[in-house]
Amino acid sequence: MKFSLEHKTAIITGGGSGIGKAICQTFAEMGAIVHILDMDETLGATTATEITVKHCPAFFYKCDVSKYDEVEKVVKQIAIKSGIDILINNAGIGFVGNIENTKEADLDRLYNVNVKGVYNCIKTVIPYFKEKNKGVIINMASIASTVGISDRFAYSMSKGAVLTMTYSIAKDYLDDNIRCNCISPARVHTAFVDGFIKKNYPGKEKEMFENLSKTQPIGRMGKPNEIANLALYLCSDEAAFVTGTDFPIDGGFIKLNG
């Protein structure tokens, strides 16, 4: 069967909700053993339980990816239990603002999760991949990695770093048969989007949802499972010739806007 992940183990950060949850579910459907890292104990444990009931055992670990010691402990535990074949660096946070209304604390918070979190996970996983001379890493970047978006100064900074880290890892570990790519979504319809609209535009939720959807040339937001399906391909053996590449999945945003 094409795109099978049978006998493979995947670590997915931020797997309790949104795109991360969709990746967890899709990978489990295709036979992977899924290890979910998330700060939200309720969402993470619920996702693991749903997958276990429907597909196969899945495991949840409460973990702050911005803290190296926590990540190292969890990754070691997973490596001993089942080995590691795939790392999905999906955990991330957003922030709206230009440089003038981005406080130092805001910048540090974005860096710690979106940049250092990716560093922590890759650094702890790489030795296990090198030992088996094989591994796949997918980093969740963004269209903000490559194009200017208003009021996204700190977020764009962090996702730009994710993009260039991807290139660096792919280059440095070619001889170790470790593939590293990144995915750059445009706006995806998740609970985060619904919460943002409800908080900032009370009473105008439907109107704002339609307005945000129309910012994508294709006329709608992406769906979490669409991002998950791209991640599935990139982690499958069918993508064995693919490394060091950014994959926009953006409804035409980068090339067709304006």
Burial class for 121, CB neighbours closer than 10 Å (0-12, 13-18, 19+): buried
Backbone phi, psi, residue 207, to 5°: -60, -45
The tokens for 242 are 């693919």
SS3 244: coil
* Catalytic annotation present for 68: no
* Residue 75, CA distances (Å) to 109, 140, 240 in order: 23, 19, 24
Q: Which of 119, 128, 155, 173 is catalytic?
A: 155
What's at 35, amino acid-wise?
H
How far is residue 149's CA from residue 155's CA, in Å, rounded to a whole number?
A: 10
What's at 132, amino acid-wise?
K
User: Of 171, 170, 174, 89, which is closest to residue 133 (Cα–Cα)?
Assistant: 174
Sheet strands (E) in 25-154? 33-38, 58-62, 86-89, 135-140
Backbone phi, psi, residue 15, to 5°: -85, 5
The tokens for 238 are 């069918």
How far is residue 255's CA from residue 258's CA, in Å, rounded to a whole number?
A: 8
Backbone phi, psi, residue 154, to 5°: -70, -40
Residues acting as catalytic residues: 155
